[in-house]
Amino acid sequence: MLIFNHVTKKFGSGIIALDDISVEIKQGEFVFLVGPSGAGKSTLLKILTRELLPTSGKVTVEGQDITKLKAGQIPTFRRKIGVVFQDFKLLDDRTVFENVALTLEVLGKNEVQIQKEVEHTLKLVNIWDRRNLFPRQLSGGEAQRTVIARAVVGKPNIVLADEPTGDLDQKTAWGVIQLLNEINSWGTIVLMATHNQEIVNTLKKRVILLKMGKIAKDLKVGKYELH
Protein backbone atom coordinates (compact mmCIF):
# COMPACT_ATOMS: atom_id res chain seq x y z
CA MET A 1 0.00 0.00 0.00
CA LEU A 2 1.11 3.57 -0.80
CA ILE A 3 -0.06 6.50 1.30
CA PHE A 4 0.66 10.19 0.72
CA ASN A 5 -0.39 12.20 3.77
CA HIS A 6 -0.49 15.97 3.20
CA VAL A 7 2.63 15.92 1.01
CA THR A 8 4.02 19.17 -0.34
CA LYS A 9 7.15 19.57 -2.46
CA LYS A 10 8.67 22.99 -3.03
CA PHE A 11 11.77 23.77 -5.05
CA GLY A 12 14.23 26.56 -4.37
CA SER A 13 12.96 28.63 -7.26
CA GLY A 14 9.62 29.01 -5.48
CA ILE A 15 7.89 26.39 -7.58
CA ILE A 16 5.37 24.23 -5.71
CA ALA A 17 5.45 20.89 -7.53
CA LEU A 18 3.08 19.12 -5.13
CA ASP A 19 0.64 20.99 -2.93
CA ASP A 20 -0.85 19.16 0.10
CA ILE A 21 -1.34 15.80 -1.64
CA SER A 22 -3.21 13.08 0.26
CA VAL A 23 -3.94 9.81 -1.52
CA GLU A 24 -3.98 6.07 -0.80
CA ILE A 25 -3.25 3.31 -3.32
CA LYS A 26 -4.03 -0.24 -2.25
CA GLN A 27 -2.20 -3.44 -3.17
CA GLY A 28 -3.32 -4.75 -6.55
CA GLU A 29 -4.54 -1.42 -7.92
CA PHE A 30 -3.68 -0.13 -11.41
CA VAL A 31 -3.68 3.66 -11.31
CA PHE A 32 -3.15 6.16 -14.11
CA LEU A 33 -1.58 9.47 -13.10
CA VAL A 34 -2.58 12.14 -15.62
CA GLY A 35 -2.32 15.88 -15.95
CA PRO A 36 -0.67 18.56 -18.06
CA SER A 37 3.09 18.91 -18.23
CA GLY A 38 4.39 20.41 -15.00
CA ALA A 39 1.42 19.15 -12.95
CA GLY A 40 3.68 17.19 -10.57
CA LYS A 41 3.44 13.63 -11.92
CA SER A 42 7.17 12.96 -12.20
CA THR A 43 7.83 14.65 -8.85
CA LEU A 44 5.34 12.31 -7.17
CA LEU A 45 7.06 9.26 -8.68
CA LYS A 46 10.51 10.54 -7.70
CA ILE A 47 9.37 10.94 -4.11
CA LEU A 48 8.19 7.31 -4.15
CA THR A 49 11.67 6.16 -5.23
CA ARG A 50 13.32 8.52 -2.73
CA GLU A 51 15.09 10.48 -5.44
CA LEU A 52 13.38 13.47 -3.84
CA LEU A 53 12.21 14.21 -0.30
CA PRO A 54 8.95 16.08 0.27
CA THR A 55 9.19 19.50 1.86
CA SER A 56 6.47 18.44 4.29
CA GLY A 57 4.10 15.53 4.83
CA LYS A 58 4.51 11.79 5.18
CA VAL A 59 4.88 9.04 2.56
CA THR A 60 4.27 5.47 3.65
CA VAL A 61 5.17 2.46 1.49
CA GLU A 62 4.08 -0.92 2.84
CA GLY A 63 3.87 0.51 6.34
CA GLN A 64 7.28 2.21 6.23
CA ASP A 65 7.65 6.00 6.39
CA ILE A 66 10.14 6.50 3.58
CA THR A 67 10.71 10.16 4.42
CA LYS A 68 12.68 8.97 7.45
CA LEU A 69 14.96 6.55 5.63
CA LYS A 70 18.68 7.06 6.15
CA ALA A 71 20.94 7.15 3.10
CA GLY A 72 22.17 3.61 3.71
CA GLN A 73 18.61 2.27 3.81
CA ILE A 74 17.51 3.68 0.47
CA PRO A 75 19.08 1.00 -1.82
CA THR A 76 17.35 -1.76 0.17
CA PHE A 77 14.04 0.10 0.02
CA ARG A 78 14.31 0.57 -3.75
CA ARG A 79 14.45 -3.19 -4.25
CA LYS A 80 10.75 -3.24 -3.41
CA ILE A 81 9.97 -1.09 -6.43
CA GLY A 82 10.29 -1.73 -10.16
CA VAL A 83 10.65 1.40 -12.30
CA VAL A 84 9.93 1.68 -16.04
CA PHE A 85 11.50 4.78 -17.59
CA GLN A 86 10.50 6.44 -20.86
CA ASP A 87 14.17 6.90 -21.78
CA PHE A 88 15.02 3.28 -20.91
CA LYS A 89 18.22 3.88 -18.86
CA LEU A 90 19.67 0.55 -20.04
CA LEU A 91 23.41 -0.05 -19.69
CA ASP A 92 24.89 0.21 -23.18
CA ASP A 93 27.79 -2.16 -22.47
CA ARG A 94 25.53 -5.00 -21.25
CA THR A 95 23.31 -7.31 -23.25
CA VAL A 96 19.55 -7.62 -22.74
CA PHE A 97 20.15 -10.65 -20.53
CA GLU A 98 22.83 -8.88 -18.50
CA ASN A 99 20.73 -5.74 -18.01
CA VAL A 100 17.87 -7.77 -16.56
CA ALA A 101 20.17 -10.06 -14.56
CA LEU A 102 21.69 -7.05 -12.79
CA THR A 103 18.51 -6.64 -10.73
CA LEU A 104 18.86 -10.19 -9.39
CA GLU A 105 22.59 -9.81 -8.78
CA VAL A 106 21.80 -6.82 -6.55
CA LEU A 107 19.26 -8.99 -4.71
CA GLY A 108 21.99 -11.58 -4.07
CA LYS A 109 20.57 -14.39 -6.20
CA ASN A 110 22.93 -17.17 -7.32
CA GLU A 111 23.77 -17.98 -10.95
CA VAL A 112 21.26 -20.81 -11.24
CA GLN A 113 18.44 -18.63 -9.92
CA ILE A 114 19.46 -15.75 -12.16
CA GLN A 115 19.53 -17.91 -15.29
CA LYS A 116 16.12 -19.41 -14.52
CA GLU A 117 14.37 -16.19 -13.53
CA VAL A 118 15.81 -14.01 -16.30
CA GLU A 119 14.90 -16.62 -18.92
CA HIS A 120 11.36 -16.86 -17.56
CA THR A 121 10.93 -13.06 -17.51
CA LEU A 122 12.39 -12.45 -20.97
CA LYS A 123 10.06 -15.10 -22.38
CA LEU A 124 7.16 -13.45 -20.56
CA VAL A 125 7.85 -10.14 -22.31
CA ASN A 126 8.57 -11.94 -25.60
CA ILE A 127 12.18 -10.85 -25.99
CA TRP A 128 14.11 -14.02 -25.15
CA ASP A 129 15.37 -14.28 -28.72
CA ARG A 130 17.05 -10.86 -28.33
CA ARG A 131 18.81 -11.73 -25.07
CA ASN A 132 22.35 -11.46 -26.48
CA LEU A 133 21.86 -8.11 -28.20
CA PHE A 134 23.00 -4.77 -26.82
CA PRO A 135 20.58 -1.84 -26.30
CA ARG A 136 21.77 -0.03 -29.44
CA GLN A 137 20.67 -3.05 -31.50
CA LEU A 138 17.08 -2.98 -30.22
CA SER A 139 13.99 -1.26 -31.54
CA GLY A 140 12.14 1.13 -29.22
CA GLY A 141 9.58 -1.53 -28.37
CA GLU A 142 12.25 -4.14 -27.66
CA ALA A 143 14.14 -1.72 -25.43
CA GLN A 144 10.96 -0.92 -23.50
CA ARG A 145 10.19 -4.62 -23.04
CA THR A 146 13.70 -5.07 -21.68
CA VAL A 147 13.10 -2.24 -19.23
CA ILE A 148 9.86 -3.87 -18.09
CA ALA A 149 11.63 -7.21 -17.67
CA ARG A 150 14.30 -5.51 -15.55
CA ALA A 151 11.62 -3.82 -13.46
CA VAL A 152 9.62 -6.98 -12.71
CA VAL A 153 12.22 -9.79 -12.61
CA GLY A 154 12.72 -9.28 -8.87
CA LYS A 155 8.94 -9.60 -8.32
CA PRO A 156 8.44 -6.18 -6.69
CA ASN A 157 5.13 -5.34 -5.04
CA ILE A 158 5.07 -1.96 -6.78
CA VAL A 159 5.84 -0.93 -10.38
CA LEU A 160 6.13 2.75 -11.29
CA ALA A 161 5.97 3.68 -14.97
CA ASP A 162 6.78 7.21 -16.14
CA GLU A 163 5.43 7.73 -19.68
CA PRO A 164 6.44 4.19 -20.75
CA THR A 165 4.64 4.48 -24.10
CA GLY A 166 5.64 8.07 -24.89
CA ASP A 167 8.00 7.34 -27.79
CA LEU A 168 6.38 4.13 -29.08
CA ASP A 169 4.05 3.50 -31.99
CA GLN A 170 0.46 2.52 -31.21
CA LYS A 171 0.87 -1.24 -31.64
CA THR A 172 4.03 -1.38 -29.53
CA ALA A 173 2.47 0.88 -26.88
CA TRP A 174 -0.46 -1.50 -26.49
CA GLY A 175 1.97 -4.40 -26.14
CA VAL A 176 3.63 -2.58 -23.23
CA ILE A 177 0.25 -1.89 -21.61
CA GLN A 178 -0.77 -5.54 -21.91
CA LEU A 179 2.42 -6.49 -20.08
CA LEU A 180 1.77 -3.98 -17.30
CA ASN A 181 -1.81 -5.23 -17.06
CA GLU A 182 -0.58 -8.80 -16.67
CA ILE A 183 1.92 -7.74 -14.01
CA ASN A 184 -0.93 -5.98 -12.19
CA SER A 185 -2.93 -9.24 -12.27
CA TRP A 186 -0.26 -10.77 -10.00
CA GLY A 187 -1.38 -8.37 -7.25
CA THR A 188 1.31 -5.79 -8.04
CA ILE A 189 0.51 -2.09 -7.69
CA VAL A 190 1.03 -0.36 -11.05
CA LEU A 191 1.20 3.44 -10.98
CA MET A 192 1.62 4.87 -14.47
CA ALA A 193 2.07 8.51 -15.43
CA THR A 194 0.85 9.04 -18.98
CA HIS A 195 -0.47 11.47 -21.59
CA ASN A 196 -1.94 8.63 -23.68
CA GLN A 197 -5.66 9.36 -23.78
CA GLU A 198 -6.65 6.23 -25.74
CA ILE A 199 -4.97 3.86 -23.30
CA VAL A 200 -6.51 5.51 -20.23
CA ASN A 201 -10.01 5.59 -21.74
CA THR A 202 -9.85 1.99 -22.96
CA LEU A 203 -8.58 0.35 -19.77
CA LYS A 204 -11.07 2.10 -17.46
CA LYS A 205 -8.81 1.92 -14.40
CA ARG A 206 -8.51 4.36 -11.51
CA VAL A 207 -7.43 7.79 -12.72
CA ILE A 208 -5.82 10.51 -10.59
CA LEU A 209 -5.70 13.93 -12.24
CA LEU A 210 -3.01 16.33 -11.05
CA LYS A 211 -3.25 20.04 -11.84
CA MET A 212 -0.79 22.62 -10.53
CA GLY A 213 0.43 20.17 -7.92
CA LYS A 214 -3.01 19.36 -6.52
CA ILE A 215 -5.30 16.37 -6.97
CA ALA A 216 -8.11 17.75 -9.13
CA LYS A 217 -9.92 14.41 -9.55
CA ASP A 218 -9.58 10.85 -8.28
CA LEU A 219 -11.98 8.49 -10.06
CA LYS A 220 -12.19 4.75 -9.38
CA VAL A 221 -13.16 4.11 -13.01
CA GLY A 222 -11.96 7.16 -14.83
CA LYS A 223 -11.14 8.56 -18.21
CA TYR A 224 -8.56 10.97 -19.54
CA GLU A 225 -9.62 14.52 -18.68
CA LEU A 226 -7.56 17.63 -18.19
CA HIS A 227 -10.55 19.88 -17.38
The span from the CA of 126 to the CA of 120, in Å, is: 10
Q: What is the pLDDT of residues 156-215, one digit of tens each?
A: 889 999 888 877 778 878 888 888 888 899 899 999 999 889 999 999 999 999 999 999
- Give this prediction's pTM: 0.86
**Helix (H) or strand (E) run with residue 209 in it:** strand 206-211
DSSP-based three-state secondary structure for 157: coil
Overall average pLDDT of the 29-47 stretch: 93
Q: What is the pLDDT of residues 104-122, one digit of tens each?
A: 998 889 999 999 999 998 9
